């Protein structure tokens, strides 16, 4: 899973650079599919419960599960990239958001809060904590910034399948839920709305959008819990070194 996660981190770093005005969602999908296969992996999302593409791209009021199309990005778009792959049957699932060109103040703040929320959630994934500690920390931080966390979609265990128990909500109470033990591998994925937490699915049966039409932002890492804390398996090489800490040969926040 470490090897799978490494390739997915490299893939997302590359895809981030492609998001420019005029580039289409399908351009990114093709780039993702090609990168994944060239690295000996299988695009995990393609065909997953009938999903038609190799990546989800969710822009502005779209929360998650947006289906790529020939629609181009526009200056100011808040673009969520969510990708998954398997390597020898082992999954990695990760995503990040990027602003196309010049974003609004609200988009830039929402992006920063979402990335920090993910880091805070990861920091709670230590042996002896409970799953509820992750969601509680994410929720407290996000709501303290005046934003809301989506309830209808959650993070998850991951391994031989993309979605395994336990569910990992971005809300909750401290000390509740499963005990976190070394060996657990989970995907933590805060979805943060500028306005209300309410969302619904479009008639394409995939795209999740905010009810109020305001911005939503998303970030996700697959992380492994080791004896001394979390290891991010899907680190992107483009993330500034100041945001990650090396402990031995492992990368932690």
List residues near ligand MF3 by CB under 6 A: 45, 48-49, 51, 56, 65, 82, 84, 93, 187, 189
Within 10 A of 157 (CB to CB), how many other CB atoms are there?
18
Single out the segment in contact with Co ion by CB under 5 A; choices: 17-25, 44-52, 182-190, 206-214. 182-190
CB nearer to ligand MF3: pick between 14 and 48: 48
CB nearer to Co ion: pick between 62 and 93: 93
List of E strands, 90-215: 90-99, 148-149, 155-157, 164-168, 185-188, 191-193, 199-201, 208-210
For residue 188, state whether it binds Co ion (rule: CB under 5 A).
no
51 binding partner (options ligand MF3, Co ion, none; Cβ < 5 to 8 Å by kind): ligand MF3
CB nearer to ligand MF3: pick between 58 and 60: 58
Among 154, 187, 223, 233, binds Co ion (CB under 5 A): 187
Min. distance of Cβ 165 from ligand MF3 in angstroms?
14
Task: Give which of 120, 148, 122, 145 is closest to 63, Cα–Cα.
Answer: 148
List of E strands, 105-202: 148-149, 155-157, 164-168, 185-188, 191-193, 199-201
Site for Co ion in 202-221 (CB under 5 A): none
3-state secondary structure of 59: strand
Within 10 A of 175 (CB to CB), how many other CB atoms are there?
11
Site for Co ion in 80-99 (CB under 5 A): 93
Residue at token pair 């699932």: 93
CB nearer to Co ion: pick between 77 and 93: 93
Min. distance of Cβ 64 from ligand MF3 in angstroms?
7
Kindly state the DSSP code that residue 42 receives in the 8-state scheme: E
- Class of residue 216 by CB neighbours under 10 A (exposed 0-12, middle 13-18, buried 19+): buried
- By the criterion CB under 5 A, which residues form the site for Co ion? 93, 187, 189
């Amino acid at each position: 899973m470490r090897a799978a996660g490494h390739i997915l981190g490299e893939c997302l770093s590359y895809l981030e650079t492609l998001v420019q005005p005029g580039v289409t969602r399908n351009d990114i999908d093709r780039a993702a599919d090609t990168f994944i296969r060239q690295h000996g992996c299988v695009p995990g999302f393609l065909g997953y419960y009938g999903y038609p593409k190799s990546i989800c791209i969710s822009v502005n009021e779209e929360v998650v599960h947006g289906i790529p199309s020939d629609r181009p990005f526009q200056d100011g778009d808040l673009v969520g990239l969510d990708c998954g792959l398997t390597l020898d049957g082992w999954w990695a699932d990760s995503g990040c958001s990027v602003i196309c060109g010049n974003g609004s103040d609200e988009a830039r703040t929402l992006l920063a809060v979402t990335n920090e929320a993910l880091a805070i959630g990861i920091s709670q994934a230590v042996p002896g904590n409970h799953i509820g500690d992750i969601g509680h920390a994410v929720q407290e931080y996000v709501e303290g910034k005046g934003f809301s966390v989506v309830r209808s979609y959650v993070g998850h265990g991951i391994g031989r399948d993309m979605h395994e128990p336990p569910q990992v909500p971005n809300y909750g109470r401290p000390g509740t839920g499963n005990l976190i033990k070394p060996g657990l591998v989970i995907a933590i994925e805060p979805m943060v709305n500028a306005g209300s937490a309410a969302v619904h699915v479009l008639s394409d049966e995939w795209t999740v959008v905010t009810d109020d039409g305001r911005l939503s932002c998303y970030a996700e890492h697959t992380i492994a819990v080791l004896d001394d804390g979390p290891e991010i398996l899907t680190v992107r090489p483009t993330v500034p070194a100041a945001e990650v800490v090396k402990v031995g040969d492992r990368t932690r926040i």
